[in-house]
Amino acid sequence: MAADDVSGRSRTITWQDPMPVGDAARDMSGLDFLRQIASGQLPPPPISESLDFYLDRVEEGFAVFICTPAEHHYNPISVVHGGLAATLIDSATGCAVHSTLPKGHGYTTINISVDLLRAITTATGRMRCEGRVVHRGSRLAIAEGTLIAEEADKVLARGQTTCMIFPP
């Protein structure tokens, strides 16, 4: 296929300014902040809009994201790019850590590892990514993530992240 062949496929993405949402994060606990995103009271971050995934549920130390793979997630060999699985695991594990933070605290991912276990295609159907905190100290937290094909109930990828926690 020639690079200039668009085949009628297109996509338009819109998002809201992320800065006010980031400011709101500093004024509430991590769990309250994430619950407002999940409920739609606060808009999702731009990455959610561009990759078509969303925060479905959050509890203290636990977060669930949902994504249905689509053609626009494909890499040159006609399967979903591994970066989508990595992004979902990073999001679920990071938000699991974020949900444990008191008002004013922040975090950042300092390490992430992902094992891709099965190919993902549009035939995979809806996926659920669960992140769980397995260690929460005062400066570091570790969380594990699992990406599951819901209909087949098969694990597609697993990962772990280490996050650094910043006090106010």
How distant, in Å, are the alpha carbons of 1, 59, 81, 121, 122 from that of 88? 30, 17, 12, 15, 16
> Domain for residue 11, yes or no?
no
Question: Nearest CA to 84 among 61, 66, 97, 102?
Answer: 66
pLDDT for the residue numbered 8: 76
> Domain for residue 29, yes or no?
yes
> Domain for residue 112, yes or no?
yes
pLDDT digits (tens, 9 = 90+) for 92-106: 999 999 999 999 999
Question: Nearest CA to 95 among 127, 66, 58?
Answer: 58
pLDDT digits (tens, 9 = 90+) for 39-48: 999 999 999 9
> Domain for residue 3, yes or no?
no
Question: Residue 145 pairs with which residues in a beta bridge?
Answer: 131, 159
Residue 57 CA to residue 159 CA, distance in Å, equals 19
pLDDT for the residue numbered 1: 43
Which residues does 20 contact at the CB level (< 8 Å), separation at least 6? none
> Domain for residue 5, yes or no?
no
- The domain in which residue 70 lies consists of 18-166
User: What's the CATH code of the domain at 135?
Assistant: 3.10.129.10
> Domain for residue 9, yes or no?
no
Domain count, the chain: 1
pLDDT digits (tens, 9 = 90+) for 55-76: 999 999 999 999 999 999 999 9
> Domain for residue 2, yes or no?
no
pTM: 0.93
> Domain for residue 120, yes or no?
yes
Kindly tell me if the per-residue pLDDT of 167 is higher than 50.
Answer: yes
pLDDT for the residue numbered 4: 57
